[in-house]
Structure 1
């Protein structure tokens, strides 16, 4: 069953890599939005509500590096206590690798943010969205590690559903707050999923080698 999901994950990763490359080539040297960027972000900003803005700021915080510094130590202590060393490395690599890769991609593409839509101040370049990329790779990895050896049931399905909805809302919050073009979010999710898949592949491969070693 896991091999089947890994194969599906590989196909999805390839598709998202194509999406990322397509967007990357089209934003290169362009000052402003492309395709649906302007239409979506302007439509969202026609209906700004102060109370919703506060909720979006909170969601954005939950997907920020500041919050990871609060949350990560608890997860690390839990994994150390359970002696899940492979999972511990996977979690650290998923967040640190995703963060580092995102910074490199932003510097390489150098896309400017949609400054005219800013509801909050934000520094740095725009493409791909760090919140979208890191939130997907980190929270989905945490959910995967927690649910990895559990049977598929209603609880497991609900946890995945909540995780996916939360990740999507964090991405939307960045558009709502006007600090990212929608294509930044799509590219961030694409890159985040690819990184997540590589990390999961590493976990499964390591466990497989470990199991074979114990059998010999």
Structure 2
């Protein structure tokens, strides 16, 4: 007899999906545009040369090529150290899924980027690809390193690093004027939902594999 999934376990999935739908609907209807523009304008008032250089750096490492390089380096180290091919496959599937979702939504919604920006960007605005890539990449780094991190201090440092990278990459896109705040919010919600679904399926798969392995050992 299959165990029923407790309702409480589904709450994070439901909330993320609901907030993403609300955000997307609000963007499509233009409800967020005035606030989005106001945020971009207010942030522009605090532009400095030093801050702009910092934001350009975080925006750069959140771009496709640097993300691929960081991912490959991380996966190489993880595999050589722990020899877990399943982790590599999971990482790849999460990353590819995030990219696919982003491309499909961008081409479906076709939201134009803000009128003025500090850097030149092509493509549509909603949701933010940089933000989705950051959530997937650093979310997976936290997940894969968590089980190999034994101390509380090390885990706090790991979470702080991962969350900080996501926030800085996301904020850099608004600062540079290539995304609205709602693009960032939509990206965080969708990528977090995808990450949560992927990890949940993976965890259930691993439990089944362990159960099968235990049953074989007892036979």
TM-score normalised by length of structure 1: 0.89
Paired position in structure 2 for 1:161: 160
Q: Distance in 1 between matches of 2:10 and 2:145?
A: 21
CA contact (8 A) 1:33 1:181 kept: no
Q: How many residues align?
A: 209
Distance of aligned partners of 1:43 and 1:166 in 2 relative to their CA distance in 1, 3 Å threshold: same
Paired position in structure 2 for 1:25: 25
Paired position in structure 1 for 2:124: 125
Aligned ranges for residues 45-194 of structure 1 at < 5 Å?
A: 45-81=44-80, 82-116=82-116, 118-148=117-147, 150-151=149-150, 153-194=152-193
Q: CA deviation at 1:152?
A: 5.7
Q: Distance in 2 between matches of 1:173 and 1:187?
A: 16
Instruction: Give deviations 1:84-104, integer Å, cap 9, x for gaps.
Output: 111111110111110111011
Q: Does 1:214 align with 2:213?
A: yes
Paired position in structure 1 for 2:199: 200
Paired position in structure 2 for 1:15: 15
TM-score normalised by length of structure 2: 0.88
Distance of aligned partners of 1:205 and 1:174 in 2 relative to their CA distance in 1, 3 Å threshold: same
Q: What secondary structure, in the 3-state scheme, does the structure 2 residue paired with 1:28 have?
A: helix
CA contact (8 A) 2:135 2:191 kept: yes
Structure 2 gaps, min length 5:
1-5
Instruction: Give deviations 1:159-212, integer Å, cap 9, x for gaps.
Output: 102211221111000000000000000000000100110121122112111101
Q: What secondary structure, in the 3-state scheme, does the structure 1 residue paired with 2:121 have?
A: coil
Q: Give the structure with higher Rg (CA).
A: 2
Q: Distance in 2 between matches of 1:51 and 1:147?
A: 34
Instruction: Give deviations 1:6-26, integer Å, cap 9, x for gaps.
Output: 987742332121111112112
